[in-house]
Amino acid sequence: MVQGGLLNLPVKNLSYAYLFKGERIRYGLMAGILCFLGILIFWFKPAWFSHIEAGVWNIYQRYGVAHTNQSPPVTIVDIDDKSLFEIGDWPWSRQQIAQLVEVMFKDYHIAAAGLDIPFLSARDAEGDKALLALSNEYPLVFAQLFALEGQGSTITSGVLGGGKVDNIPVGLHIPQAIGYVANHDGLATAPCVGHIIRKKEDGEISQVPPLIAWDGKAYPMFSLEILRCWMESIGEPGEYNLRVNAIPSVNYQQVQILPVFGKELELLLDKDGFMRVPYSQNDLISISAADILKHRVDPALLQNLIVVVGSSAMGLVDQHSTPLSDNSIGAIVHLQLLESFLGDSPPMPIVKVEWATAAWAVASLLLLYFLLLRGSGVVTLLAATLMLTIAWLGLGYWLWISWQWWLPMLPLLGYALFVVLQVPVEWAVMQRSVRRLRSLFQGYLPATVLDSLLRQPKNSLLEPRRCTLTILFADIANFTRRAEDSASPEELARLTQQILGRLTEAVYAGNGTLDKYMGDAVMAFWNAPLPQENHADLAIQAGRDMIAGIAAFNREREGDGFEPVAIRIGIHTGEAIVGNLGTRFRHSYTAIGDAVNVAARLQEKAKDLQEPLVISETTAAMAKQWNLNAETTVYLRGRRQEVGVFTYSGITPKKDAPGQYGTL
């Protein structure tokens, strides 16, 4: 019998297979794997992750485009269907285009103009001369195109021109061109030329490369060149001053590119050299080119504005999908960029956001693992993951609406990895745990209690813990003498099996936990692994059922020369340690402690008292469904003080007591 002194030992030292140790190791290992995979994916940012992240940002822009009531410093002169109808079909002559430019500068006094129209061939010498002359007199910017890998061929046509950076700074990563299509050599000396390359995601124009590298030089995009040439025309420094700002960012690079009224224009590029177009909604007025040529526009409407000449005419095929519309003209991209360069919107604090994003991802994953340690099921974990996902997407939408900040989608990656990797693992572990618990407890508990047990959180079921138990010991009287008189060991074994079966039936009928068989004895307890409010009553009922069951067994064997069987039962309620106890060689779900010893001593005392059932005063005090009379005091082996006990003859059910006490 286990001595009471073991109650002073730390609980976790009582079981070699301490439950949480394995779970903590597994959770820590899985968390480490998730973090490693998340960092790896976030660092290298594969195409599929960039595609998902860009898709979320595009949704933000489409449904949460910021609106400003400020008068834009840029407008669009549109070669629309009306212009083609009034002026003539496309292509217009270069002289016609030159006339449009001249009218805008001389009659409407615009600040600068960009022609979103590449002139690839020399087919109108006089018109080309006129355009070249205007470009030398006014800040007029031409367009050229580059072919990037995956976006075009290696053809080189025309003459590259315009502002450029002769030396690309070390550490700056920008797209490398594999070919170009520039204006013909008749416009090669034009001072202002910028590229009009854009990048689409999910069919929408979302990014542009501010700089494209070719032959060791960096060529700026169209909107930057318009800004530079305009600044130069009003006496401001008009030279690119390209510098890379060292920022501790995984996926972004920040560059200073051009002084704008004494302040360096800083651009935030991704690691491939692209920047997102900062779309915003405003009171933009698009003006028909025909109205300009026919002087039907109020000069005050265009004075000192930067003009981008584009086309919405159906035949010119320059309509694109953007977050603003499914049918935006290409010039809108340049306009949005120029507005951003000239505006005062705060830049995205990318470094702080990235670190905050990483902190959120780690904290939320810790929360999910905390729920795992608390025993949460798969449904709870999935619901928590969904709520965290919604919270992050909502925060990202709010930051975009408020400040046009791009919130990285690293947490979503972590949640996806958690669902894809951890949840299936937990499901498999849970199934294995259910099988393990069923295998472990099916010999201890009745089927109804076992089913209830398997529906409970599993984390603390096997962990050794202190709790109040009602413990029952029962053995067969005079078993030693019966064994000596038995005809054969087989007959004795069969008899013992039958008797222990009757005792076990009584334990299961009372929803008790069968601890063990000890030769001819049975040990059972109540109030673990599941709590039972009426555990003392249940144990008393089980003891009475045992006596009744053995009496019925004796009646069945009458007339066969069978010596009647007698049993002795002891029941005590007290504090014990219960759990999966043992060593790495063998362990079982059992209870130990002084309360166990007392119950065993009471069972021994039943022989002296000539009673089949002896109950301690502690159990009697907790019993609510029984009348307990005729208390007596006895000495128990190993104890100096007397203890109060009640015997079978003094136990009767109360009038209002139910016949069975099988409720948990």
- CA gap 311, 339 in Å, rounded: 19
Q: In whole angstroms, how far apart are CA 632 and each of 609, 617, 635, 642, 645?
A: 10, 9, 10, 10, 5
Which of 150-164, 538-552, 557-571 shows the highest mean pLDDT?
Answer: 538-552
* Token duo for residue 522: 């049975």
In 3-state terms the chain splits into helix, strand, coil percentages (rounded to 5) of: 45, 25, 35
**Contact of 183 with 154, CB cutoff 8 Å:** no
- CA gap 398, 139 in Å, rounded: 39
Q: In sequence order, what are the beta bridge partners of 465?
A: 578
CB 53: neighbour CB atoms within 10 A?
A: 21
Beta-carbon contacts of residue 267 (< 8 Å; ≥ 6 apart): 210, 254, 255, 257, 275
Q: Which of 142, 209, 211, 130 is nearest to 181 (CA)?
A: 142
- CA gap 209, 182 in Å, rounded: 17
Q: What is the pLDDT of residue 447?
A: 58
**Confidence band of 27 (pLDDT split at 50, 70, 90):** low
- The runs of H, that is alpha helices, within 610-664 are 617-622
Q: What is the pLDDT of residue 140?
A: 96
How far is residue 223 CA from its own chain's centroid?
A: 39
DSSP structural state of residue 169: P
Largest CA distance in the chain: 134
Q: In sequence order, what are the beta bridge partners of 156?
A: 180
23 vs 356, higher pLDDT: 356
Predicted confidence (pLDDT) at residue 399 exceeds the cutoff of 60: yes
**How confident is the model over 428-471, as pLDDT tens digits?**
666 666 666 666 565 555 555 556 555 555 545 667 889 999 99
Q: What is the pLDDT of residue 411?
A: 86
**How confident is the model over 51-72, as pLDDT tens digits?**
777 778 778 877 776 555 555 6
Q: Which domains does the chain have, with CATH numbers?
A: 19-58+351-438 (no CATH), 74-342 (no CATH), 446-653 (3.30.70.1230)
**Confidence band of 650 (pLDDT split at 50, 70, 90):** confident
Q: What is the CA radius of gyration of the chain?
A: 43
Phi, psi of 259 (to 5 degrees): -75, 130
506 vs 409, higher pLDDT: 506
Q: Which of 299, 420, 415, 439 is nearest to 366 (CA)?
A: 415
* Token duo for residue 260: 């704008």
Mean pLDDT of 330-348: 79
**How confident is the model over 287-307, as pLDDT tens digits?**
999 999 999 999 988 999 999
* Token duo for residue 561: 């020369």
- CA gap 374, 459 in Å, rounded: 7
Mean pLDDT of 138-142: 96
Q: In whole angstroms, how far apart are CA 428 and each of 128, 371, 395, 424, 559?
A: 74, 17, 34, 6, 57
**How confident is the model over 582-639, as pLDDT tens digits?**
776 777 788 999 999 999 999 999 988 889 999 999 999 999 988 888 788 888 887 7
* Token duo for residue 231: 């600044």
- CA gap 529, 467 in Å, rounded: 10
**Confidence band of 203 (pLDDT split at 50, 70, 90):** confident
Phi, psi of 214 (to 5 degrees): -150, 125
- CA gap 213, 165 in Å, rounded: 9
- DSSP β-ladder status, 204-208 and 275-276: antiparallel
**Confidence band of 230 (pLDDT split at 50, 70, 90):** very high
DSSP structural state of residue 105: I
Mean pLDDT of 69-93: 85
- CA gap 82, 290 in Å, rounded: 7
- DSSP β-ladder status, 112-115 and 306-310: parallel
* Token duo for residue 95: 């002289």
Q: What is the pLDDT of residue 348?
A: 55
Q: What is the pLDDT of residue 65?
A: 61
DSSP structural state of residue 188: T
* Token duo for residue 141: 């910017």
588, containing H or E segment: strand 587-592
Mean pLDDT of 237-245: 85
pTM value is 0.61
Q: What string of H, E and C letters represents the secondary structure of 328-360?
A: EECHHHHHHHHHHHHCCCCCCCHHHHHHHHHHH
Q: Which of 315, 61, 348, 340 is nearest to 204 (CA)?
A: 61
CA atoms 98, 101, 102, 107: torsion sign: positive
**Confidence band of 13 (pLDDT split at 50, 70, 90):** very low
**Contact of 281 with 66, CB cutoff 8 Å:** yes
Q: What is the pLDDT of residue 6?
A: 28
- DSSP β-ladder status, 140-148 and 193-195: parallel
Tally DSSP H helices, then E strands, for the chain: 19, 30
**Contact of 229 with 338, CB cutoff 8 Å:** no
SS3 363: helix
